[in-house]
Amino acid sequence: MAAAYGAAVIGLTAVTAPPASAAASLTAKFTAADRGTWWQGSYEVKNSGDTAATTWTLEFDLNSGQSIGNWWNGTPTISGSHVTVKPGSGNANVPAGGTTGANSFGFVGMGATTPPANCKINGNPCEGGTQPDTPPTAPGKPTGTSTPTSITLSWAASTDDKGIAGYDVYQGTTKVVSSTTTSATVNGLTPDTDYTFTVKARDTAGQESPASPATTVRTQKPTQTDLPPSAPGKPVATPSTNSVALTWAAATDDKGVASYDVYQGSTKVAQVVTPSATVTGLTPDTEYTFTVKARDTAGQEGPASPATTVRTLQDQNPDTQAPTVPGTPSSTGKTTTSVTLQWGASTDNRAVTSYEVYNGDTLAATVTGTPPATTTTVSGLTQDTEYTFKVRAKDAANNQSGFSPTVTVRTDKQPTDQSACRPDGLYQSPGVTNVPYCNVYDTNGREKMGADHPRRVVGYFTSWRTGKDGSPSYLPKDIPWDKITHINYAFAHIDGQNKVSVGGAGANNPSIGMEWPGVQGAEMDPAYSYKGHFNQLNKFKKQHPNVKTLISVGGWAETGGYIDDNGKRQASGGFYTMASSQASINTFADSAVKFLRDYGFDGLDIDYEYATSAPKAGNPDDFTFSEPRRATLMAGYVNLMRTLRQKLDAAAAADGKYYLLTAATTASGWILRGSESYQVTQYLDYANMMTYDLHGAWNQFVGPLQALYDDGTDAEMKHWNVYGTYSNIGYMNGDWAYHHLRGAMQSGRINLGLGYYSRGWKGVTGGTDGLWGLSKLPDQTKCPKGTGSDIGSTVPCGDGAIGIENLWHDLDAAGQEVPAGVNPAWHYKNLQEGKQGSYITQYGLTPDTDPNDRISGTYARKYSSSMVAPWLWNNDKKVYLSTEDEQSVQAKADYVASKGMGGIMIWELAGDYAYYPERDGGKGEYFIGDTLTTKIYNTFKTAAPYGNLKAGTKTMPTQTLNVNAELYGYAVGDANYPISPKLKFTNNSTTTIPGGATIEFDYGTSAPPTMNQQTGWTLSVVSTGHTGPNVGGLKGDFHRVRLTVPTYESIAPGQSKEIQLRYDLPIASPSNWTITFGGQSYRMSVDNPR
């Protein structure tokens, strides 16, 4: 869930096509037309030879200050100022004596209209003539470094008249690895062994160079096995009535001691980082035996210390008083197989430690905690059956109260027609019957989330804030369970066998192995075989049964690989390779079902960043996998989601438990242009829009990371002439993203994303208090990976904020801070108040020695009501931090409520804040809390039920005709403009659709009402939901289009007909399809109607 590089143009590494037939003689003529603030350039390719040219490659160099974007009839790639153009689908073939004419490659240019330099067509001068093609020169002699099993080589680059395509590394006469750079790593070698290598270069014509001089490198000897730590000293015990304080001599380790585990007998009761601990909750006048083991930074546990036996002190005032009787239980919710109970709390002279809930005379549940909750869910019941419950309380001395009065509850009756609860538009898995939709949805197709939760509050809980590294922890006990409806656990990954995994079950695995001894509320529930967060989530779900948990797979760091148990990222391909074959998709889907069953999750959340043909759109570490597959990524994503839906539905029918399938969906218009019609929406219970990271320091344009509306002056939109090209619609805001998905699904299946963090720049120039100013990294050769010069972009990378303004920073491959201005909300609230934060050293900041890590200047809060976007502006440092706070969250919650949207998704819960006057030595400061989440909850709890129909208030025909409509045939990447897919109708009914029949559909107002078609059918826009700029938001949800089948055509049963559409901005799959003929209107089955 991180940055999408959402610029309109991102530079690419040059890739050239093979030259055309020698008998074709090609030239290319440049023309330019001045359009005021921009110019339109084109290259017309002419073939004066006697044989058709079947392909061509155009190359040129942009002059200083020039840039291009919004191209057509070709696909350019950009490396620095060098542009390489491959033909489009309609102009690759140039006949003898012909030209590309009206299909010539064209583009929008910025800067001077001077013709670009060094123009070549198929490697020859654009004005004509030929140049001989010569092989590359030999690379320089390689140099190498080694590990016990690998050797990394680097060499001086070759030169070539037409460009180097790559290098091949040879061991003797065997090619062992290829590379597109001047370095490569050979793996799988034997330790302490000599290897000899040479390197050859390949040019774009496929010619190979002579071999480089040979080099010989020896692999290293095997490293010594990492030893576990030594035993700590014998603990020294100081007892009290109910606790024992222990201290011991520190252990030693070759790589450092990370922590100590304290054992009471064979049970681990505490984990600490210093050689002392206090064990609490003990019984007076009782003997206990303790040992201690050390754990090193590799996770290895050493031998136990000598044992210490100690007796707690006698209790001079033994507790013999029982708790009071609990209040009468009541039912706060029930299903066909469970009843949720709530009761009044007992009191005790010391403390109530647990409640026992009885079903008749049988113990049904035990509720523990500090204090224990006064609610629980009793499961495993029979539908339409009466049960009688009672409750009693216990304290630490095992005194127990009398039983409460009883309550009798009848479980719900199982509906006979589960399909009555299926949400409108949700895909029905063929051949799967009795999917238990009614467990989760009501008969209106709305999700059941509890009486005070008519809208969703989805919170991402991250696995890495364990506190074990000394930074503040955020554990399941810290979640505001009563304020939320869903928890997405971030993240599981796709392992090397294409299965869902969170790694091995070691004690350092936060998901299933870690413990937090001595931390109140983090006690493990012995009912589960696993520990860690998963144990805790299930423990708290018993107390909050209306909250659903989903495992989220992927994320920015693990879309194309995974983090292994040693903290190393494995570049395995992840989604990119797994979704490229049905066999691996099946393996993944089967493992997902097993994972949900094994760990008690209620659903699966897919966070694939990103399935798009847009070039270099995701994590730059994944480009090796994503770039060669761009043309097929969306098809693979669709197959993946369809398969998951089918297998989850089959499991649900078998288990009697419905499983949710959701996705984190991009909000970037640029990425969506490569995502076809985002046709996965039909498989999703709901979509979580990532309506954040819309601006960031990956480029120089300073603006809000999560504006709700466009203000018509977005500097990045203006740079690329987006307003002039797309009817003044700005697409980097939450409202645009909502209307994009609203075209395909009802409002209630769409959640607005909110980020509880900032992004920011330093050294900002221009703009208003920084807004829409510029911040360019001074040394553009040092752009972070995936930005600016690193990928040959013509847009400079930004100068991201650092130090005190970058608390939640990532580290690059070299372990250095990535400048991005990322901070949790509680930290930027402290900056706003002029507080440095008492916690900053826990994040590695050193304000005593590093000026960047200490607070200076004033952080003034600014707010754009037109965009619903706050920010902090430090005029002294020229630092801009885009933020989210109570005013903007309230406005967004009101927006969601008014639009009938499903709710809000939060990334991430640990970023929320509260003010604590006692913190920082009584000076007070902001820290982790739930202020923003509480504001969302308070707004939603009285909101009307969310919109449950795709058509909204529109009346649709009651009869359905089995006719499918499919958009396909999209161009790849930046060639996909104008967006011109084919629309295919397939008549799966038994009725012929005659000529003159009219077909109507809606598409979202995210695109202008300018759709047209390029065939013999008639297309008209019969109603428009919005026209003109979208400042302040798009006014309506839909444009409605009517197509008329020509009178000379018909669509017989089993027959398909297709037309070509053309539109300007991305739309999600059109909806609310109707077909009318013979005086009768039908709804089309493509909508999956209720």
Per-residue pLDDT band for 12 (boundaries 50, 70, 90) equals very low
The Cα 649–Cα 509 span in angstroms is: 30
The pLDDT of 750-778, averaged and rounded, is: 98
**Cβ atoms 289, 307 nearer than 8 A:** yes
What tens digit of pLDDT does each residue of 148-161 get? Answer: 888 999 999 998 87
Per-residue pLDDT band for 8 (boundaries 50, 70, 90) equals very low
Residue 271 is predicted with a pLDDT of: 86
What tens digit of pLDDT does each residue of 389-406 get? Answer: 999 999 988 999 999 999
* DSSP 3-state of 264: strand
At residue 738, φ and ψ (nearest 5 deg) are -60, -45
Least Cα distance to 642 among 421, 429, 437 occurs for 429
**Cβ atoms 715, 702 nearer than 8 A:** yes
The pLDDT of 914-937, averaged and rounded, is: 96
**Cβ atoms 288, 331 nearer than 8 A:** no
What tens digit of pLDDT does each residue of 485-508 get? Answer: 999 999 999 999 999 999 998 899
What tens digit of pLDDT does each residue of 291-309 get? Answer: 999 988 767 889 999 999 9
Residue 476 is predicted with a pLDDT of: 98
Residue 242 is predicted with a pLDDT of: 87
Cis peptide before 356 (omega within 30 of 0): no
Contacts of 16 (CB under 8 A, 6+ apart): 57, 59, 84, 162, 163, 165, 204
Dihedral sign of CA atoms 293, 296, 299, 302 in order: negative
The Cα 15–Cα 164 span in angstroms is: 10
The Cα 962–Cα 925 span in angstroms is: 62
Give the global pTM.
0.73
What tens digit of pLDDT does each residue of 600-625 get? Answer: 999 999 999 999 999 999 999 999 99
What tens digit of pLDDT does each residue of 183-196 get? Answer: 888 887 888 899 99
Task: Write down the residue that tokens 């890495």 correspond to.
Answer: 464
Per-position DSSP letters for 953-999, written without gaps between them = T----SSEE-EEEEEE-PPPGGG--SB--EEEEEE-SSS-B-TT-EE
DSSP count for the chain of H helices, then E strands = 12, 58
The Cα 747–Cα 739 span in angstroms is: 9
DSSP state of 669: H
Per-position DSSP letters for 1024-1054, written without gaps between them = -S--S--BT--S-SEEEEEEE--TT--B-TT
The Cα 861–Cα 870 span in angstroms is: 7
Residue 23 is predicted with a pLDDT of: 52
How does the average pLDDT of the chain come out, rounded?
92
Domains and CATH numbers, the chain: 26-125 (2.60.40.290), 330-400 (2.60.40.10), 440-692+733-755+891-918+930-948 (3.20.20.80), 695-732+757-883 (3.10.50.10), 960-1087 (2.60.40.290)
The Cα 725–Cα 996 span in angstroms is: 35
Per-residue pLDDT band for 36 (boundaries 50, 70, 90) equals low
The pLDDT of 338-353, averaged and rounded, is: 94
Per-residue pLDDT band for 110 (boundaries 50, 70, 90) equals confident
Per-residue pLDDT band for 131 (boundaries 50, 70, 90) equals low
> Which ranges in 508-632 belong to alpha helices (H)?
532-543, 574-578, 582-599, 623-626
pLDDT score of 20 more than 90: no
What tens digit of pLDDT does each residue of 872-906 get? Answer: 999 999 999 999 999 999 999 999 999 999 999 99
What tens digit of pLDDT does each residue of 704-720 get? Answer: 999 999 999 999 999 99
Least Cα distance to 105 among 84, 131, 123, 124 occurs for 84
Q: How many CB atoms lie within 10 A of CB 223?
A: 9
Per-residue pLDDT band for 225 (boundaries 50, 70, 90) equals low
Least confident of 169-173, 295-299, 554-558: 295-299
The Cα 828–Cα 846 span in angstroms is: 18
Per-residue pLDDT band for 129 (boundaries 50, 70, 90) equals low
The Cα 676–Cα 736 span in angstroms is: 17
**Cβ atoms 864, 711 nearer than 8 A:** yes
Residue 369 is predicted with a pLDDT of: 82
The pLDDT of 734-738, averaged and rounded, is: 98
